[in-house]
Amino acid sequence: MMIVTLLLSLLSVQAPAPQPAAGPAPAAPLTVMSFNIRYGTANDGDNHWLKRREQLFALLRQQQADVIGLQEALHGQIEEILQAVPGYAYVGVGRSDGRQAGEYAAILYRAARLQARRSDTFWFSATPGVVKSTSWGNQIERICTWAYFEDREGPAFYAYNVHLDHISQPSRERSVALLLERVRARDPQAPAVVTGDFNAGEANPAAQAMLSAFQDSFRILHPDVREAGTFNGFKYGQTGGDKIDFVFVEPGTEVLAADIVRASSDGRYPSDHFPVTARIRLR
Domains and CATH numbers, the chain: 27-281 (3.60.10.10)
What single DSSP character describes residue 272? S
Give pLDDT, residue 24. Answer: 66
Strand 157-163 versus strand 192-197 pairing type: parallel
| Whole-angstrom distance, CA of residue 184 vs CA of residue 127 | 18
Q: Are 41 and 72 in contact (CB under 8 A)?
A: no
Q: Which residues of 136-170 are buried (b: 16+ CB within 10 A; e: fewer)?
A: bebeebbbbbbbbbebeebeebbbbbbbbbeebbe
Region 24-43 average pLDDT: 94
pLDDT tens, residue by residue, 91-126: 999 999 999 999 999 999 999 999 999 999 999 999
Q: Which pLDDT does position 30 carry in this prediction?
A: 98
pTM of the model: 0.92
Question: Of 22-36, 175-189, 262-276, where does mean pLDDT reach its minimum?
Answer: 22-36
* Helix, strand, coil shares, percent, the chain, to 5: 25, 30, 50
* Element of type H or E holding 197: strand 192-197
pLDDT digits (tens, 9 = 90+) for 214-264: 999 999 999 999 999 999 999 999 999 999 999 999 999 999 999 999 999
